[in-house]
Amino acid sequence: MESPQGLNAARESATLLGGEANALAQTVLSVVFEAAPRSAPLLRDRILALTAAEEATTPRYARLAAAAPSLHFMSITLVEDALYDPVFVVELNFDGPPGPFFAELEAALGEALRDMLRCAKPPPAAGALFAAVTAPGSRVPVAPLLEASAVRPAVFHQGNRGLDRRRIEAEGALFAAARVLADAPALRAMTILAIHEHLRATLAPDFPWLNARAPARIGAAESLGDRIRLLAFALAAVIALAAPAAFFAVIPRVSLTGAPPLVWPTLVVGAMALSVTVGLLWLRALEKAEPTQDEPSLDPALQAAMARGEDRTVQNHMISIVHIKPGVLRAVLVRAGLWGLGLLLRANGSARAGYLAGMRTIHFAHWALIGAGGRLMFHSNYDSSWESYLDDFIEKAHAGLTLAWTNGVGFPRTRLLVGEGASRGRLFKAWARRSMTRSQFWFTAYKAWTVNQIERQARLADGLRRASLTPSQADAWVLDL
Amino acid sequence: MGAGPVTGATVSSTPGWGLAPKVAGRTQGLVVSPFAHLEAAEAIFLRIAAGSGGAWLAALRARVPITDATGPSAPCAAIAFAWTGLAAMGLDADALATFPPPFSEGMHQKDRRRRLTDDGAGTIDGGAIWGGTAAGPAIDGPDDTGAPAPVPPVVVHAVLLIYAHDDAALDARCAEAVDAIAPLGVTIARRLRLSLRLDANGISREHFGFADGVSQPLPFGPEIRRSDGAAAPRDPWHAVPPGEILLGHLNAHGEPAPGPLVAAPPGVALPLPTKGAPEGFADLGLDGSYLVVRELRQDVARFWGAMDAAALAAADPAVDAEWLAAKVVGRTRNGVPLAPARVAAPLAGAPANAFGYFERDPHGFGCPVGSHIRRANPRDGAAVSGAATSGVLAAANNHRILRRGRKFGPDLADPRADDGAERGLLFMCLNTDLVRQFEFVQQNWLLNPTFATLLDETDPLLGPPGRFTVPGAPVRRRVEADTSVMFAGGEYFFLPSLPALDYLETLR
């Protein structure tokens, strides 16, 4: 992105960067098909052929980066499963609503995706469309089929929420330019405020958008919606927990009309406590009885293939699919747990700023239930090595990790949903590795930048957009140079 | 013994640590001591002929006993084996398969070398010259260019470390060892004479002139003892569970650090413990460890030449080579960690080591965020708030290594004029999880181009040539750092317990 082309693109988009009240929100989804078993090897070859073709451009993936300007991260993977036919997954993380993006994707990769879809089974809900799209010589657009087969995640998380790709690239180009200017020895004799003024004056001609205010990263309506949804979930949880006990135990014995006003809250809390107690006893009994897989067998060839693909840049990709434990309680817990966690991550202040338990290492990650709710799929586009990424969570956020995955078959033994589990780091890592496969196609729009670096670029740009800074703002701003 | 700089005094001074008597009798002495009371040392790298069995090991130990951890002794010796060495001795395939992948694949596995940045600019010209791998196994295959993955020409199967008071005693001891093993199928692949050369203050300095081995993890737990025999307290800054250093003991992930197993058929008495091992197996790993060995060549004149050039480019009277070199390392030559001016100067004595970065130097105005010591152990520096510091420190301590290295080669008389002699550091460290400890430090901290808040720079001491950010007011400077430490060879070795050595002797 520090190339002249990137800089030119950043300059051209200058008018747009300040022209909108709100930034574009990002959309996260996966398109999921079952692969036709006989054609699975061919499908894998076609995915790998696409990887080879896009890597052959200069620089690598430049064609796709230009053809799909809304795309942040994308993966295409064929996932084998011992108990089911293979799953064919296209993971998409992009700016704005799906409609315009799918049109962009159609233009960029439509024919390659059509060839891959020919190796999939027709989805029951869109059989006619599938047949039309995959017919020999078909010119029927692929995008409607992809959109019809898209799975919205139960939980997703973003490191740089509200920064669209165009803005990330423009601020990255600004950062690179500012950084070189800041190397000049003459700056060492200046005050920080003078340095700010000097850099702003020098850079403004090349980056005219510095004269416009930055769009709000998360719009007021979106924020309000996040809060309302979380509140509604909490209310629904209260009703759901209170209802069974109220129905069976409390209501028949109480005269509803004559009760004093304080009785109602007491009844609700009492009924909830009863439900929670019964639920926890049930859960604990399950947790003691459910089998675990302490030493999953790892296929050396697959591990080697993953090692070959990992750590090629500062970011990595992970895809994992696990089976959900049987039973009603697990079915309820996985849905309620993921739903609640998902809403919390949208509304919680530090999660909105990209942090999970004090760490900001995830660009885009999501969990989604697939296969009629029987399997849990996880995608993550993260910074640093896999070991580092998981160790961070094992060490600082194992409760959340355990909550998200405790309903998976073979997961290390857990105590009351969040205890133990992922804190048993080696067991957890072996379990997670076993659920993973090699990411056969993976695209990242800005491979050299971590989440923290993108925020650093945004802070530096924010300071340069301001005509003047207070001394304390300036002290903080200069640290990002 | 386990802590403090490698000085003559640390052998008996607090905060040293040792092992409870029962464990100490089973554990190699190198675990608890760098043998700093013994100035002379040699690393002898062995090549073991296939099918040699364990007879040579018995013959060696009869004349050069491997030192246990019960107390000071002299001379001392330690021994450790590469996976290929254990295979050559005839350890069966099922037992070999119980070792973790980094150990069985070795340090020179292609993707590992890429992740550890052991390819390219950080390696001596022509590539590393020694390692444990003979031919590339199927897993290695050709590299990205289609060329076969390079293999170090000198194959090393085991490393024998011998320590003595002086050169004469060391020579005699080494000769005994070589005499014992030579007739039994074991040859010398490489030898390196090691030294401490303590200065007047009792400090050992690496070749660039800086005190080395200052900060070490401090294990605690029922099997750990202070040097006076009392139970070791939990150190607030450097505490690690014993299983971070000793296999089979409680580790940082709350389980006994997993080690290798051997089959124990019913009715056969093995010298190995079976308690705690799965039915049908004996514990080959208990009280053992993994020893990482890396031969790092140091080009002293190139290092100071780069510092001189960077000082010249800075065009600032406050910046000279000495100042820059301290910023690169993060400490003064005497080992005192750099800190902003507002932090009180340390009192006399050993360099302070009970400190974090979050409180006293969050932005690296004293000790740069990208300096060697801050990358090698970031302590609490990654915390985003004061409340997070204890969690961040505890997390960082899950990636500690216990260093046991010594330097090799003569001192360079004029640090600005190269004399062509080979010199450097034989880096050695102990840990039980090669991926989570040694490799994590190397890949995610030292050579991570996006470590902390940095971009496009790696460890200025160990990494390839590139920029190094020195924070300061009003604005940071970025100086050019050169490569003056180069990887010349290395391998992962298994450092067995004494009972495990007894077992290996029985191999045929």
Q: What is the pLDDT of residue B142?
A: 62
CA distance B68 to B72: 9
Residue B438 has pLDDT above 60, yes or no: yes
Q: Tell me, yes or no, if B226 comes closer than 8 A to chain A by beta carbon.
A: no
Listed in sequence order, the residues at least 6 apart from B422 whose beta carbon sits closer than 8 Å to its beta carbon are: B297, B408, B409
pLDDT over 70 at B421, yes or no: yes
Contact A358 B440 (CB under 8 A): no
Check B398 against A355: CB less than 8 A apart.
no
CA distance to partner chain A, nearest, from residue B403 (Å): 21
Check pLDDT > 60 for residue B372.
yes
Mean pLDDT of chain A: 90
Give bridge partners of residue A93 from the DSSP assignment. Answer: A28, A73
Contact: A387, B435; criterion CB under 8 Å: yes
Please determine, for residue B140, whether its predicted confidence score (pLDDT) is greater than 70. Answer: no
What pTM was estimated for this model as a whole?
0.93
CB pairs < 8 Å spanning A and B: 100
CB A75 within 8 A of CB A91: yes
Count the Cβ atoms, other than its own, within 10 Å of residue A425: 23
Higher pLDDT, B383 or A119: A119
Residue recorded with tokens 């609700």? A268
Tokens of A274: 């009863």
Q: Tell the burial category of A111 from Cβ atoms under 10 Å away from its Cβ (0-12, 13-18, 19+).
A: exposed
User: For the residues A403-414, what does the mean pLDDT come to?
Assistant: 93
Q: What average pLDDT does this structure show over B138-162?
A: 78
Q: Per-residue pLDDT averaged across B425-438, rounded?
A: 97
CA torsion sign for B347, B353, B359, B360 is positive
The pLDDT of residue A295: 87
B68 CA: distance to closest CA in chain A (Å): 30
Provide, as residue numbers in chain B, all residues whose Cβ is less than 8 Å from the Cβ of A385: 115, 443-444
Cα-Cα-Cα-Cα torsion A61, A63, A64, A65, nearest 10 degrees, comes to 80
| Whole-number Å distance between alpha carbons of B479 and B33 | 38
Selecting from A391, A450, A481 the residue whose C-beta is nearest the C-beta of B436 gives A391
Count other Cβ atoms within 10 Å, centred on residue A18: 15
Q: Residue B5: what pLDDT? A: 39
Asked whether B49 and B496 are in contact (CB, 8 A), the reply is no
Enumerate residues 6+ apart whose C-beta is below 8 A from B430.
Answer: B30, B31, B245, B289, B290, B291, B292, B401, B402, B404, B495
Across the range A117-124, mean pLDDT stands at: 96
Whether residue A306 has pLDDT greater than 60 = yes
Highest mean pLDDT among A266-270, A353-357, A444-448: A444-448
Is the pLDDT at B323 greater than 80? The verdict is yes
Amino acid identity at B485: V
Predicted pLDDT of residue A55: 95
User: For residue range A269-297, what is the model confidence (pLDDT) as tens digits?
Assistant: 888 888 899 999 999 999 999 999 988 88
Q: What is the mean pLDDT of residues B401-423?
A: 96
When pLDDT is averaged across residues A307-316 and rounded to a whole number, the result is: 92
Question: How would residue B48 be classed by pLDDT, with cut points 50, 70 and 90?
Answer: very high
Phi, psi of A287, deg, nearest 5: -60, -35
Q: How far is CA B125 from CA A290, B106, B119, B488, B490, in A?
A: 56, 21, 10, 9, 15
- pLDDT, tens digit, for every residue of A173-192? 999 999 999 999 999 999 99
Of residues A308, A383, A478, nearest to B474 (C-beta): A478
Q: Pick from A99, A101, A37, A51: which is nearest to A72 by CA?
A: A101
Q: What percent of chain B has pLDDT over 70?
A: 93
Note whether B471 contacts A303, CB cutoff 8 Å.
Answer: no
Write out chain B residues lying below 8 Å of A304, CB-based.
Answer: 111, 139
How confident is the model at residue A245, as a pLDDT? 72
Position A248 confidence tier, pLDDT thresholds 50, 70, 90: low
Radius of gyration of chain A (CA): 25
Within B135-276, strands assigned E span 154-155, 158-164, 186-195, 218-219, 224-226, 239-240, 261-263
Does the bond joining B474 to the residue before it have cis omega, within 30 degrees of 0?
Answer: yes
Closest-CA residue of chain A to B454: A453
How many residues are listed for chain A in this entry? 481
pLDDT of residue A262 exceeding 80: no
Given pLDDT bands bounded at 50, 70 and 90, which one contains residue B384?
confident
Give mean pLDDT, residues A393-416: 90
- Encode pLDDT of B456-491 as tens digits: 999 999 999 999 999 999 999 999 999 899 999 999
**Residue A242: what pLDDT?**
83
- Residue B504: pLDDT band (50, 70, 90) is very high
Nearest to A303 by CA among B505, B177, B139, B155: B139
The dihedrals phi and psi of B356, each to the nearest 5 degrees, come to -115, 175
Instruction: Tell me whether B316 touches chain A (CB under 8 Å).
Output: yes
Of chain A, the percentage scoring pLDDT greater than 70 comes to: 91
B452: tokens are 């902390």
Cis-peptide, bond into residue B75, ω within 30° of zero: yes
Report chain A residues whose CB lies below 8 A from the CB of B252. 425
In this predicted structure, what is the pLDDT of residue A8?
44
Of residues A307, A358, A385, nearest to B388 (C-beta): A358
Q: pLDDT tens-digit profile of B194-247?
A: 999 888 777 889 999 999 888 999 999 999 998 778 888 899 999 999 999 999
Q: How far is B468 from chain A (nearest CA, A)?
A: 12
Checking phi first, is residue B364 left (phi over 0); if not, alpha (psi -120 to 50) or beta?
Answer: left
More confident call, B505 vs A403: B505
The total number of residues written for chain B in this structure: 508
| Listed residue (B26, B442, B358, A222) closest to B366, CA to CA | B358
Distance CA B107, CA B112 (A): 7
Give yes or no for residue B3 having a pLDDT over 50.
Answer: no
pLDDT of the residue at A260 = 59
| DSSP structure string for A62-123 | HHHHHH-TTEEEEEEEEE--SSS--EEEEEEEEES-HHHHHHHHHHHHHHHHHHHHTTBPPP
pLDDT exceeds cutoff 50 at B8:
no
Structure tokens at A27: 């959309």
SS3 content of chain A, % helix, strand, coil (to 5): 55, 15, 30
Give me the pLDDT at residue B213, please: 82
Percent of chain B with pLDDT over 90: 76
Place of tokens 């009351």: A416
Q: How far apart are CA B461 and CA B449, in angstroms?
A: 14
Residue B62 has pLDDT above 70, yes or no: yes
Using the Cβ of B108 and the Cβ atoms of chain A, whether some distance falls under 8 Å is answered with no
Q: How confident is the model at residue B348 (pLDDT cuts 50, 70, 90)?
A: low
Task: For residue A200, count other CB atoms closer than 10 A to its CB.
Answer: 20
Residue B11 predicted with pLDDT over 60: no
d(CA B370, CA B448) in angstroms, rounded, equals 10
Q: Is the CA virtual torsion A166, A169, A173, A178 positive or negative? A: positive
- pLDDT for residue A5: 42
What is the average pLDDT score of chain B?
Answer: 91
- Give the pLDDT score at B138: 45
Q: What is the ipTM of this complex?
A: 0.92
Q: From the CA of A22, how many Å to the nearest CA of chain B? A: 28
What's the rounded mean pLDDT across residues B234-261?
95
The pLDDT assigned to B205 comes to 92
8 Å CB contact of B385 and A358: yes
Q: Answer yes or no: is pLDDT of A369 > 60.
A: yes
Site from A1, A55, A385 to mutate, B interface, most B CB atoms within 10 angstroms? A385
Tokens of A288: 């003691």
Stretch A100-119: mean pLDDT: 97
pLDDT score for B119: 82
pLDDT digits (tens, 9 = 90+) for A134-150: 999 999 999 999 999 99
The tokens for B253 are: 């992930």
Q: What angle, rounded to 10 degrees, do the helices at A192-203 and A471-478 form?
A: 70
Flag whether pLDDT at A38 surpasses 90: yes
Residues B407 and B425: beta-carbon distance below 8 Å = yes
Q: Considering only alpha carbons, which residue of chain B is nearest residue A383?
A: B450
- Taking residues B69-87, report their average pLDDT: 94
